[in-house]
Amino acid sequence: MKQNKSHQVPSDKLTTLRCFIPYLAKYRFSFCFIALLVIFSAAVNLYGTYLIAPIINHYILPHNYDGLLQAVLFMCGMYALGVLSTAVYKQRMTRIAQAVIFDIRADLFEHLQTLPLEFFDTHTHGDIMSHFTNDLDVLQDAFHNCFDNIIQSFTIICGTLIAIFILNWKLSCIVATFMLMMTCLIQFYGKRSKHYFRIQQKAMGELNGYIEELVEGSKVVKVFQHETQSMQDFNEHNETLRHASAQALTYAGRTIPTVVSLSYVNYAIVASIGGFFVLANQLQLGELSAYLIYVRQTAMPINQFTQQLNFILAALAGAQRIFTLMGQISETDEGKVTLAQVTSSAHGRICESDTHTGQWAWRHPHEDHVEYVPLAGDVRFHNVVFGYRSDRDILKGISLYAKPGQKIAFVGSTGAGKTTIINLINRFYDISQGSITYDGIDVKLIRKADLRRSIAVVLQDTHLFSTSILENIRYGNLQANDEQIIEAAKLANAHSFIRRLPQGYHTQVQSNGSNLSQGQRQLLAIARAAVCDPPVLILDEATSSIDTRTEKLIEKGMDQLMEGRTVFVIAHRLSTVRNADAIIVLDHGKIIERGSHEELIQRKGRYYQLYNGQFELE
Ligand SMILES: Nc1ncnc2c1ncn2[C@@H]1O[C@H](COP(=O)(O)OP(=O)(O)OP(=O)(O)O)[C@@H](O)[C@H]1O
Ligand SMILES: [Mg+2]
How far apart are the C-alpha atoms of 189 and 248, rounded to whole Å?
A: 9
The CA 418 to ligand 2 mean position distance, Å, reads: 6
pLDDT in tens, 589-616: 999 989 999 998 898 888 888 887 754 4
The closest residue, in CA terms, to atom 29 on ligand 1 is 415
The CA 487 to ligand 2 mean position distance, Å, reads: 29
* 362 in the same domain as 505: no
The CA 328 to ligand 2 mean position distance, Å, reads: 28
38 C-beta closer than 6 A to ligand 1: no
Single-letter residue type at 489: A
| Number of domains observed in the structure of the chain | 3
Mutate to test the pocket of ligand 1, among 118, 384, 394 (most ligand atoms within 8 A of CB): 394
The CA 417 to ligand 1 mean position distance, Å, reads: 6
Q: Are 509 and 468 in contact (CB under 8 A)?
A: yes
543 C-beta closer than 6 A to ligand 1: no
How far from 92 is each of 12, 97, 104, 147, 155, CA to CA, in Å? 30, 9, 19, 12, 19
Residues of the chain with pLDDT > 70, as a percent, come to 97
The CA 302 to ligand 2 mean position distance, Å, reads: 62
**From the alpha carbon of 412, which atom of ligand 1 is closest?**
21
The CA 571 to ligand 1 mean position distance, Å, reads: 15
The CA 458 to ligand 2 mean position distance, Å, reads: 12
* 421 in the same domain as 287: no
Least confident segment among 7-16, 65-74, 311-320: 7-16
Domain span at 469: 379-617
Mean local confidence (pLDDT), 279-292: 89
The CA 568 to ligand 2 mean position distance, Å, reads: 13
514: in domain: yes
Mutate to test the pocket of ligand 1, among 117, 121, 391, 420 (most ligand atoms within 8 A of CB): 420
**From the alpha carbon of 389, which atom of ligand 1 is closest?**
4
* 342 in the same domain as 241: no
582: in domain: yes
The CA 386 to ligand 1 mean position distance, Å, reads: 12
* 360 in the same domain as 442: no
* 99 in the same domain as 157: yes
The CA 490 to ligand 2 mean position distance, Å, reads: 27
Query: DSSP for 577-613?
Result: GTT-SEEEEEETTEEEEEE-HHHHHHHTSHHHHHHHH
512 C-beta closer than 6 A to ligand 1: no
How far apart are the C-alpha atoms of 395 and 78, rounded to whole Å?
A: 78
Nearest one of 488, 168, 445, 470 to 334, comparing CA atoms? 445
Mutate to test the pocket of ligand 1, among 117, 418, 538, 544 (most ligand atoms within 8 A of CB): 418
Q: Are 353 and 342 in contact (CB under 8 A)?
A: yes
Q: Count CA within 13 A, CB hemisphere, residue 522.
A: 18
Residues of the chain with pLDDT > 90, as a percent, come to 28
* 168 in the same domain as 91: yes
Model confidence at 617: pLDDT above 50:
no
Radius of gyration of the CA atoms of the chain, in A: 36
414 C-beta closer than 6 A to ligand 1: yes
- Calculate the average pLDDT of the chain: 86
pLDDT at 614: 54
The helix (run of H) or strand (run of E) holding residue 66 is: helix 65-114
Q: What is the CATH number of the domain that holds 437?
A: 3.40.50.300
1: in domain: no
The closest residue, in CA terms, to atom 3 on ligand 1 is 388
Q: Hey, which residues does 350 pair with through a beta bridge? A: 344
Q: Are 580 and 396 in contact (CB under 8 A)?
A: no
Model confidence at 196: pLDDT above 60:
yes
3: in domain: no
478-482: long-range contacts (C-beta < 8 A, 24 or more apart)?
Answer: 480/531
Mutate to test the pocket of ligand 1, among 118, 384, 388, 396 (most ligand atoms within 8 A of CB): 388
251: in domain: yes
Ligand 2 is an ion; its neighbours by CB within 5 Å are: 419, 460
pLDDT at 8: 61
Task: List, in order, residues 6 or more apart from 307 with CB less than 8 Å away.
Answer: 149, 256
Backbone angles phi, psi at 351, to 5 degrees: -125, 145
Task: List, in order, residues 6 or more apart from 172 with CB less than 8 Å away.
Answer: 161, 164, 165
* 388 in the same domain as 367: no
**6 confidence band (pLDDT: 50, 70, 90):** very low
**From the alpha carbon of 423, which atom of ligand 1 is closest?**
18
576: in domain: yes
The CA 412 to ligand 2 mean position distance, Å, reads: 10
* 351 in the same domain as 282: no
pLDDT in tens, 499-512: 999 999 999 988 77
pLDDT in tens, 153-171: 888 888 888 888 988 898 8
**From the alpha carbon of 460, which atom of ligand 1 is closest?**
27
Task: List, in order, residues 6 or more apart from 279 with CB less than 8 Å away.
Answer: none
pLDDT in tens, 335-382: 899 988 888 777 778 888 777 777 888 999 988 888 888 888 899 999
Q: What is the CATH number of the domain that holds 235?
A: 1.20.1560.10
Q: Which comes out higher in pLDDT, residue 513 or 488?
A: 488
8: in domain: no
* 275 in the same domain as 182: yes
**271 confidence band (pLDDT: 50, 70, 90):** very high
394 C-beta closer than 6 A to ligand 1: yes
Mutate to test the pocket of ligand 1, among 410, 411, 419, 573 (most ligand atoms within 8 A of CB): 419
- The 3-class secondary structure across 483-531, one letter per residue, is HHHHHHHHHCCCHHHHHHCCCHHHCECCHHHCCCCHHHHHHHHHHHHHH
How far from 215 is each of 5, 218, 227, 238, 397, CA to CA, in Å? 35, 5, 12, 16, 40
**From the alpha carbon of 589, which atom of ligand 1 is closest?**
14
423 C-beta closer than 6 A to ligand 1: no
Helices 13-25, 285-327: axis angle to 10 degrees equals 90
DSSP 134: I
238 C-beta closer than 6 A to ligand 1: no
The CA 589 to ligand 1 mean position distance, Å, reads: 10
pLDDT in tens, 525-581: 889 998 988 888 898 887 777 777 777 777 777 787 888 888 999 987 777 788 889
Model confidence at 310: pLDDT above 60:
yes
Ligand nearest to the CA of 415: 1
The CA 418 to ligand 1 mean position distance, Å, reads: 8
pLDDT at 138: 86
357 C-beta closer than 6 A to ligand 1: no
* 368 in the same domain as 512: no
pLDDT in tens, 99-144: 999 999 999 999 999 998 888 888 888 888 889 988 898 888 888 8
The CA 331 to ligand 2 mean position distance, Å, reads: 23
SS3 content of the chain, % helix, strand, coil (to 5): 65, 15, 25
pLDDT in tens, 427-459: 989 898 999 999 999 999 999 989 998 898 888
598: in domain: yes
What is the distance of C-alpha 230 from the center of its chain? 27
Nearest one of 397, 378, 400 to 386, comparing CA atoms? 397
- pTM of the entire predicted model: 0.76
* 74 in the same domain as 59: yes
How far apart are the C-alpha atoms of 49 and 297, rounded to whole Å?
A: 10
Question: Both ends of the chain: CA-CA distance in Å?
Answer: 57
* 354 in the same domain as 276: no
What is the distance of C-alpha 597 from the center of its chain? 47
pLDDT at 331: 84
- Per DSSP, the chain holds a count of helices (H) and strands (E) of 20, 14
33 C-beta closer than 6 A to ligand 1: no
Q: Is the dihedral of CA 49, 53, 58, 64 positive or negative?
A: positive
**9 confidence band (pLDDT: 50, 70, 90):** low
420 C-beta closer than 6 A to ligand 1: yes
How far apart are the C-alpha atoms of 45 and 48, rounded to whole Å?
A: 5
